[in-house]
Amino acid sequence: MKKQDALQDPYIGDPMDRVDGRMKVTGAAKYAAEYELPNMVHAVLVTSTIAKGRIKSLDTKPAERASGVLAVISHLNSPKVPGFAQHDHPAEPPTGGQPLRVFYDDKVYSNGQPIAMVVADTFERALHAASLVKAQYTQDKHATDFDANVQKAFLPSQAQKNPDSHLADYVRGKKEAYKTGAIKIEAEYIQPTEVHNPMELQAIIAHWEAEDKLTVYDKTQAVKGTQRAFAKDWGIPVENVKVIATFVGGAFGNGLHTWPHETAAIIAAKKVNRPVKLMLTREQMFFMVGYRPHTWQKIGMSATADGKLTAISHEAIGQTSSYEEFTESTLQQTKMMYASPNVDTRYRILALDVSTPIWMRGPGEATGAFALESAMDEMAFALNLDPLEFRMRNHTDTDPDKKLPWSTKYLTECLQEGAKRIGWSKRQLKPGTLRDGEWQVGYGLGVGTFGANFRMAQATARLQSNGRVIIQSATTDIGPGTGTAMVQIAADELSVAPANITFQLGNSAFPHSPSQGGSSTISSVGSAVQAVCIALKQKLQETAVAKGHVAFQGAEPDKLLLQEGQLALSGSTAASVPLADLLNGQQELVLTAEAKPGDERKKFSMYSFSVHFVEVRVHSVTGVVRVNKIVSCADAGTIVNEKTAGNQMIGGAVGGIGMALMEHAVMDHRFGRYVTKDLAEYHVPVHADIPQIEVYFVNKPDPYTNPLGTKGIGEIALIGMAPAVANAVFNATGKRIRELPITPDKLM
């Protein structure tokens, strides 16, 4: 795609190919475990086989004697981690409680917890020696079964301390008003534990370059957060920790926290004084790097006979570990999505003898939307009303929770456009009406929303005298195409062709970026990239004026272009100066700028919205559910790259199908151990499960979210998909499945 004049024909919006696509598909892209360091050795973890108790003894002798073994490390001989002594051991981002202190003492908090580690000269020798380590335990009675322990659920301490917390009990209007409603429904919904299964396994290479200087190549979504956490752990200055995550092979949220294996590798590197590589097995991924927590929900809802909601009560209890209070925004959508005068929510967590959960794509909002959007469908059915029409009748033009106008909301457009594209008119009100041979056919929809986040971010621009531009920020790119979008943003702002712009990321030495989480990267880092491009042009303009090029005096940033090695001025007062003259003989001009949310953001309520439409076919004999067609519509503000954003939507839809039909980490409570712990047992969708997915973007800039007008896509791509499938299954069969995943046995 050739762009002559970026002012006329912007790069933003183009379906540009990924700048790193070729590197990824040819293997040139290096992921954490692929770095080779001189003298590097390998660590393999030994994990607990009980869910609760103490390590009575560890027999490490046979492992120590095995070939190639340099060390067997456990709580008995681990180098001390200074940060572990503080009660408030840092997690990034902070959760309540205290993250697991690996090899700290003899306590076992969950099955699969690291209890020892073998370091050897090769991976195979470390793996073999790890199998020789034998532990004896003093076992305590464990509690891993959610249902059996649900009465111990409690209000998160954050909400206990602060009644204004979003996790605190919430009442708008009257509490439990649905109970006296004209037409009412009441139902319970179960989201089972799901585990992030990105293609790339969690991995780290830890290297102490000096006594107090640490470099890690780490799989993380937050290089700055990881840097801060390790610096605090080891009591060393933040700048002494270097975190590299140039490529990340998917993460879905499990890279938003630092985990025990990371600290274990750093401990190993300290102990043997050599760089150490540690990669988890797929099985270990189920036990120590987070998961979407099992969550029970109950919704009561009432409406008038003409389809106006009168009340919603929504309760949720999510699982956490015994040592950390993981919480998420399961109930947020219920507070703001529909115009109901009475809404109350109640959120609790339940501590079990399991590892700590973490946000998994869509996070709590996806869990909450399963209940809310299923309940909306149940209510519409009770009213004998089309569920799309029911949502239209309960549309709200202001946020009833924050009592603020929306910055933008094109939900109605998403509903209408999606209905047209899926062929909603074919849908029958009466379930079980449509058939195609042995297949029952049904249609469903689910609405999603997620806050349009914007967090402070910085970017550095390095303009070379030849006109090339390098831009740096410490964000990561876990797959959405961040690097590509940033090049497009810079190309537009500078009028430099994308081929002459390089965006560098995934390095803690670069200026601040928030973690790549919560659908905030384009808005936050994109705004910083735009800001530094404007700053760069202004700096060049000042220099030009100072050098006597008066035509540049007072020129607006959007009239300034960098073209063919010149700073140029567009419009009637056309002028240009060679960049070389403006760099004062320097090789490059380096500038850093920052973007952060302003007060404007407080005047509006800012959310992205999505609507997912699905057509399903349910086999009347076997109960197999096939998703036949998907149309996902999104109001996410400006779409910077139609292709990568479209990929995000497709990926989210695929994740949503997994959530709806397959994903379930099944635990054997006799042992507190998952029995589904590889991709043969834990099912995720494969190509044969995925139909044509059509994506529609409203693509209207939001004037208030940030200078780019973006609102975020990553989460809304998935939020609302699972209930869309469940609602379609109901429409096809008349069977309402309130416990995910919707497996054939539930439809028989």
| Residue 367: CB minimum distance to ligand MOS, A | 11
| Residue 361: CB minimum distance to ligand MOS, A | 5
Nearer to ligand MOS, 253 or 707 (CB): 253
For CA atoms 354, 357, 360, 366, give the dihedral sign: positive
- Residues in contact with ligand MOS by CB under 6 A are 221, 252-253, 256, 359-361, 363, 517-518
DSSP state for residue 105 in the 8-state scheme: S
Look up residue 446 and give its two tokens.
């689910």
| Residue 194: CB minimum distance to ligand MOS, A | 12
* CA–CA separation, 426 and 428 (whole Å): 6
For β-strands 241-244 and 575-578, DSSP reports them as unpaired
| Residue 481: CB minimum distance to ligand MOS, A | 15
Query: In residues, how long is the chain?
Result: 748
Nearer to ligand MOS, 440 or 449 (CB): 449
Look up residue 88 and give its two tokens.
């408030």
Number of H helices, E strands in the chain: 18, 33
Nearer to ligand MOS, 359 or 697 (CB): 359
Look up residue 295 and give its two tokens.
């969550």
CA distances from 125 to 42, 122, 360 (A): 9, 5, 34
Angle between the N-to-C axes of helices 721-733 and 363-382, in degrees from 0 to 180, rounded to the nearest 10? 30
Give a three-class secondary structure readout of 708-722.
CCECCCCCCCCCCHH
Look up residue 583 and give its two tokens.
């760099």
CA dihedral 93, 479, 654, 278 (to 10 degrees): -60
DSSP state for residue 357 in the 8-state scheme: P
Nearer to ligand MOS, 128 or 361 (CB): 361
3-state secondary structure of 58: strand
* CA–CA separation, 378 and 735 (whole Å): 11
Nearer to ligand MOS, 18 or 292 (CB): 292
Contact 277, 202 (CB under 8 A): no
- For residue 451, list its beta bridge partners: 607
Helix/strand/coil percent split, the chain, to 5: 30, 30, 40
| Residue 363: CB minimum distance to ligand MOS, A | 5
End-to-end Cα distance, the chain: 53
Nearer to ligand MOS, 567 or 716 (CB): 716
Contact 345, 170 (CB under 8 A): yes
Nearer to ligand MOS, 360 or 695 (CB): 360
Nearer to ligand MOS, 63 or 251 (CB): 251
| Residue 252: CB minimum distance to ligand MOS, A | 6
Nearer to ligand MOS, 318 or 518 (CB): 518
- Give residue for tokens 């499945």: 737
Nearer to ligand MOS, 94 or 691 (CB): 94
| Residue 289: CB minimum distance to ligand MOS, A | 13
| Residue 199: CB minimum distance to ligand MOS, A | 15
Cα-based angle 447, 635, 7 (whole degrees, multiple of 5): 170
| Residue 526: CB minimum distance to ligand MOS, A | 16
- Classify 250 in phi/psi space as left (phi over 0), alpha (psi -120 to 50) or beta: left
Which residues, 6+ apart, have CB-to-CB distance to 403 below 8 Å?
none
For β-strands 324-325 and 295-303, DSSP reports them as unpaired
CA distances from 747 to 55, 289, 599, 622, 741 (A): 45, 33, 51, 8, 11
690 burial type by CB count under 10 A (0-12 exposed, 13-18 middle, 19+ buried): middle
| Residue 451: CB minimum distance to ligand MOS, A | 11
Residues 365-390 as b/e (b if ≥16 CB within 10 A, e otherwise) read: bbbbbbbbbbbbbbbbbebebbbbeb
- Give residue for tokens 């340099």: 70
**Helix boundaries (H) for 316-456:** 332-336, 363-382, 387-393, 411-422
Q: Closest Cα to residue 101, out of 232, 200, 7, 209?
A: 232
Nearer to ligand MOS, 60 or 221 (CB): 221
Strand order in the sheet with 134-139: 107-108, 53-59, 134-139
3-state secondary structure of 214: strand
Is 715 tagged catalytic? yes
| Residue 337: CB minimum distance to ligand MOS, A | 20
| Residue 365: CB minimum distance to ligand MOS, A | 10
| Residue 94: CB minimum distance to ligand MOS, A | 15
Which one of 176, 188, 715, 739 is the catalytic residue? 715
Q: Cis peptide before 511, with omega less than 30 degrees from 0? A: no
Nearer to ligand MOS, 189 or 252 (CB): 252
* CA–CA separation, 717 and 635 (whole Å): 11
557 burial type by CB count under 10 A (0-12 exposed, 13-18 middle, 19+ buried): middle
Nearer to ligand MOS, 419 or 660 (CB): 660
Active site residues: 715
